[in-house]
Amino acid sequence: MRLLNVKNIILGVIFIFSCNSLIHAQLSEKDQVRLDELMGKMTLEEKIGQLNQYTGDYEATGPIRKGGDKVEEIKNGKVGSMLNIKGVENTRILQEFAMQSRLKIPLLFGLDVVHGYYTTFPIPLAEAASWDIEAIEKSARIAATEASSGGVHWTFAPMVDIARDPRWGRVMEGAGEDTWLGAKIAGARVRGFQGDGLGSTDAVMACVKHFAAYGAAVGGRDYNSVDMSERMLRETYLPPFKASVDAGAATFMNSFNDLNGIPATGNVFLQREILKGEWDFQGFVVSDWGSMGEMIAHGYCKDEKEAALRSIIAGSDMDMESRVYTHELEKLVNEGLVPMALIDDAVKRILTKKFEMGLFDDPFRFCNPEREKAALNDPSNREAARDIARKSIVMLKNNNQTLPIDIKSKDKKVKTIALIGPLAQSENDMLGFWSISWPDGDIVSLEEGLRSRLPEDVKLLVAKGCEINTDSKTGFDEAIEIARKADIVILSIGEALDMSGEAKSKGHIRLPGVQEELAQAIQGTGKPVVVIMNAGRPLVFNWVADNMPAILYTWWLGSEAGNAMADVIFGDYNPSGKLPMTFPRDEGQIPLYYNYFSTGRPSFGDHDLLYKSAYIDMPNSPKFPFGYGLSYTTFEYSDLVLSSKSMSSKDKIHVTLNLKNTGKTAGEEVVQLYLKDRFGSVIRPVKELKDFRKLMLQPGETKSIIFDIDAEMLSFYNNDLQWVAEEGEFELMIGSSSADIRLKESFELK
């Protein structure tokens, strides 16, 4: 039944009022009076103007709707926000146009500050590998400080989509596959962006995206459909969004996908019922780029009028680049199809944020050129970027202690290093997708990072070997020649920055071009090889993984990439990263994730295949599991003690254990706590991460670790979608990765 039928509209509107999805947050008394007075003065056209967002044509991520004169529209109060405008000079010019409008309502400037503004931090997936919540918050804080100094009020981040499919290019933007870790990181990023709260000039509004379930797009194909049960949605995909609301996120962005047949942009259930109803979200929702208009291509709306109607009813407050609100909302109100209360609600939500940002007191308060200069030249930002970059590196393999390379000791064996590979000298690729390019951007390449550290008696020879993605092997000979002259080879391979990200889905996630063949050619020289793998997603690289002695997965690490990699390569930093996503052996295993459900025919091990839930041509197990990552030292887990073997839903069990650094190097370990509900009224995952501790230990040092288990950690959505902890037996697993469980116990909930 089409919504344009009046009966449905009335039902829809009654529902909206009954689910209490309208704004009730109050500003300070003074600002509330100003807001109410302003609302009283606004014409319908001016109100609709506030719901309209245009791009500055600077860096489009979708088709740009040309036509109209944006400057005139701003002067006439027909634009509420601009995206893709950055820098004090530019934002000031546009804000001055807004100040020429009748009511002088300031513009909001939004930008995709996804992993840094001027200083580029590691891509979000890499940062998630640090499992360092404080460092992640700090990275968002610095990004906000820089962005706000450049006139930006609002970042379209964090992206909190749970992603279990590495074919989906956008896995690089989020925190990976795990709901619990994802929720922690989502909260940290929101806190980081918003700092001391809206109103401080170094806070930018967070925009939590993409609401919702975008990460589950069928086949990992961007913009694709999503079909899932409400239980899966609530249990696996929504918690990071809820954690963001709890952390005070100012805004949300909806998503391109449909959920069970209803596009997210027109989805009353998602936006009205859950977000603005159940969760009482008082901020505003911006559509994704053109997603209102795209409901026509979805086959959900027959024209722009219906797209506007469905969007406003569903609770999409601001239209990013579809222009359906500017074209159609006035007619819809005049025809009585959209109640004025819905328009007012959306406008109030947006204006409330403008008041909270202090823009009505001073629309130019983010436009201070001296502050901009100082913020963009703060050396401590680079230090922080380097710190989190090295924490994000995951060591996947280190046979024969190939790493770290000793360049300092008197009796060192390495006198010549060959640096080979298409990414060895690359600067831009180090930034990764969603970086905001700056013409004078100072990016440290791997070569630079290595060179700056080398003593005079160690030589570095460099050859590209091949391009990232061509068939040509003409550079192989030179690469082989320098490898022969060297004591060790550092091989820098992987993806270019535009191979993961939005609209970068891939059917094959193997090493592009002839890079694997280059690796084979270098291995033929018999020299030890350290592989540095840069990528925006988990790649499949079995030959390299099986044949090379040492591998560092370095993602895209940002401005300080080269220094961070050199820190780990030469042992100035002991790697501590752990994978936030499962790495498959083969694309055929995807989606592959550690917290899968128990089946009736579980396969125990890679050879237990027949009539089991398994493939007959490849194992079920991943190449590298979730939570995995090596260190230059080793850790021993011992003395697991539970304060009790049973608890009630009001109690807690205290879990203690000891962790000892049994190696010769100081290092950090991420101690992971997993739980499994043995029998449930609905089946439960084989294990779920529920807590972790990251701690630093000196050689020989032992630290005691305490975890608390409470009923919340044991809860899940039952078949009636109630959040419950059911009585029964639970397994407790403590480990160094999801597949490397070192200590086990069981307990009961009574």
**Cβ closer to ligand NOJ: 501 or 528?**
501
| Contact in structure between 575 and 393 (CB atoms under 8 Å) | yes
Looking at 257-356, which runs of residues are DSSP E strands? 258-259, 262-263, 284-286, 319-320
> With respect to ligand NOJ, which residue has the nearer C-beta, 61 or 523?
61
Residues 456, 386 contacting (CB under 8 angstroms): no
Helices 369-376/88-98 angle, 10° precision:
150
Residue nearest ligand NOJ, Cβ-based: 156
State both tokens at 694: 């990251």
**Residue 591 preceded by cis peptide, ω within 30:** yes
**DSSP annotation string for 153-217:** -EE---B------TTSGGGGGS--S-HHHHHHHHHHHHHHHHTT-BTBTT--B-EEEEETTGGG-
DSSP annotation of 123 reads: P
Q: Which is nearer to ligand NOJ, 111 or 462 (CB)?
A: 111
Which are the contacts of 110, defined by CB distance < 8 A and separation ≥ 6? 53, 81, 82, 83, 152, 153, 154, 155, 156, 207, 286
Nearest to 578 by CA among 633, 629, 635, 632: 629
Cα separation, 254 vs 84, whole angstroms: 18
Closer CB to ligand NOJ, residue 88 or residue 111? 111
User: Please, what's the largest Cα pairwise distance for the chain?
Assistant: 86
Distance of closest approach, residue 320 Cβ to ligand NOJ, in angstroms:
7
In 383-528, DSSP assigns E strands to 394-398, 416-420, 459-463, 488-494
Q: How far is the CB of 123 from ligand NOJ (least distance, A)?
A: 14
Helical (H) or strand (E) element with 225 = none
Report, in Å, the least distance between residue 33 CB and ligand NOJ.
34
Nearest CB to ligand NOJ, comparing residues 209 and 386: 209
The amino acid present at 337, given as its one-letter code, is L
Rounded Cα distance between 200 and 357, Å, is 7
Sheet holding 416-420, edge to edge: 394-398, 550-553, 529-534, 488-494, 416-420, 459-463
User: CB of 285: closest distance to ligand NOJ in angstroms?
Assistant: 13
For the bound state, the minimum distance from the C-beta of residue 676 to ligand NOJ, rounded and expressed in Å, comes to 35
Structure tokens at 593: 């994730």
Cβ 211 to ligand NOJ, closest distance in Å? 11
Q: In angstroms, give the least distance from the CB of 526 to ligand NOJ.
A: 47
Of 318, 317, 175, 163, the residue nearest 244 (C-alpha): 175
Best CA proximity match to 744, nearest among 648, 672, 665, 646:
672
| Cα 147 → chain centroid | 18
Cβ distance to ligand NOJ smaller for residue 112 or 273: 112
**CA distances for 680 relative to 104, 239, 732, 745, angstroms:** 59, 21, 16, 18
Alpha-carbon distance of 390 to 458, in angstroms, equals 23
The residues annotated with a catalytic role in the active site are: 288
Q: Which is nearer to ligand NOJ, 175 or 733 (CB)?
A: 175
Q: Secondary structure of the chain: what % helix, strand, coil (to 5)?
A: 35, 20, 45
Which backbone phi and psi does 707 adopt, to 5 degrees? -120, 155
Rounded distance between C-alpha atoms, residue 390 and residue 632, angstroms = 14
- Pick the closer one to ligand NOJ by CB: 215 or 584: 215
Report helix, strand or coil for 250: coil
Minimum distance from CB of 88 to ligand NOJ (Å)?
A: 21
Q: What tokens appear for 385 in the block?
A: 């970027």
Q: What is the smallest separation between the CB atom of 134 and ligand NOJ, expressed in angstroms?
A: 26
Query: Which CB sits closer to ligand NOJ, 54 or 594?
Result: 54
Shorter beta-carbon distance to ligand NOJ: residue 178 or 502: 502
Contacts of 304 (CB under 8 A, 6+ apart): 293, 296, 322, 323, 324, 327, 328
Measured from the CB atom, is 251 or 554 closer to ligand NOJ?
Answer: 251
Q: Token pair 């606004």 is at which residue?
A: 42
Q: How far apart are CA 208 and CA 225, in angstroms?
A: 20
How far is the C-alpha of 82 from the C-alpha of 85, rounded, in Å? 7
Q: Which is nearer to ligand NOJ, 112 or 387 (CB)?
A: 112
Q: How far is the CB of 418 from ligand NOJ (least distance, A)?
A: 40
Provide the minimum distance between the beta carbon of 224 and ligand NOJ in the complex, in angstroms, as a whole number.
13
Q: Distance between CA 645 and CA 749 in Å, rounded? A: 9
Binding site for ligand NOJ (CB under 6 A): 61-62, 83, 112, 156, 209, 288-289, 502
Q: How far is the CB of 121 from ligand NOJ (least distance, A)?
A: 17
